[in-house]
Amino acid sequence: MLVVKNLTKSFNSAGGEVHALKDVNMTINTGEFASIIGKSGSGKSTLLSMLGALDVPTSGSIQVDDIDIAKLSAAKQTAYRAKKIGFVFQHYNLIPNLTALENVMLALEFGGMPASKRKARAQELLTEVGLDEDEQLRKPTRLSGGQQQRVSIARALANKPAIVLADEPTGNLDSETGKKIFDLLHSLTRSENVTIIAVTHDMDIAGKTDRTFRLKDGQIVIEK
Ligand SMILES: Nc1ncnc2c1ncn2[C@@H]1O[C@H](COP(=O)(O)OP(=O)(O)OP(=O)(O)O)[C@@H](O)[C@H]1O
Ligand SMILES: [Mg+2]
């Protein structure tokens, strides 16, 4: 279970302090698919980076299965990210000079899998997300946006994370491809009981998730 309590995040900028998150409270159960919606600048990406321990909150707590990740040392936060979290980004963030297969194998290497097992596991993951043998051997520029996002989903799931955090994973895709990507995330996480938290602008997609949270000026409103 993920329990966020009284979470605030402020940034100092030239124009003064920016209160990106103000007293956010939310609980997400293990295995739930939650969506986060809200206008540009409302704090969605800031919230995801706190949940993924990419940045530290100004105050408040983030309990993941009873561990407060906001209070971990930097080294433990790195370990938490590597072991527990899978990230999917709008711009895929694949390594351009590696093939799809090599991108996933690299994630497995970071996760500590022995070299002898990486290739077979990467092939299995990529097949699961719908890439054929030929596509698996291509570099990202020779894949469509939807295929690149499938690779990044395979990479995010490589080390069997407990939580997948996705920041507008369909933001660069047409709506039909976007829906397919969401359905894929849904089915893969459902079968493994992975919690998924995805930022989206697409209300059709948000409507299909278990829970929806709306952020407005750094504050959360539960929609369902
Ligand atoms: N590193 C930073 N330094 C200063 N201000 C920041 C920083 N990161 C975010 N902000 C500010 O915090 C607020 C929330 O930003 P955030 O990126 O979380 O919004 P968002 O909801 O993800 O928007 P978008 O839909 O455009 O991606 C904005 O006012 C933004 O300018
Ligand atoms: Mg954002």
pLDDT in tens, 34-81: 999 999 999 999 999 999 999 999 999 999 998 999 999 999 999 899
Ligand 1 pocket member 185 (CB < 6 A): no
> What residue spans define the domains of the chain?
33-44+73-222
- HSE-up (13 A, CA, CB side) for residue 161: 30
From 10, 45, 220, give the residue whose CB has the most ligand 1 atoms within 8 Å, as the site to mutate.
45
From 18, 21, 48, 219, give the residue whose CB has the most ligand 1 atoms within 8 Å, as the site to mutate.
18
Which residues, other chains included, contact 8 with Cβ-Cβ below 8 Å and sequence gap of 6+? 19, 21, 22, 23, 24, 57, 58, 59, 60
DSSP H or E segment with residue 104: helix 100-110
For residue 222, pLDDT beyond 90: no
DSSP H or E segment with residue 61: strand 59-64
Ligand 1 pocket member 191 (CB < 6 A): no
The rounded percent of the chain whose pLDDT value lies above 90 is 79
Ligand 1 centroid from CA 119, angstroms: 38
**What is the CATH architecture of 33-44+73-222?**
3-Layer(aba) Sandwich (3.40)
Ligand 1 pocket member 116 (CB < 6 A): no
Residue 32: its pLDDT value, please? 94
How many secondary structure helices (H) and strands (E) does the chain include? 8, 10
Rounded mean pLDDT of 100-123? 96
146-183: buried (b, 16+ CB within 10 Å) or exposed (e) per residue?
Answer: bbbbbbbbbbbbbbebbbbbbbbbbbbbeeebbbbbbe
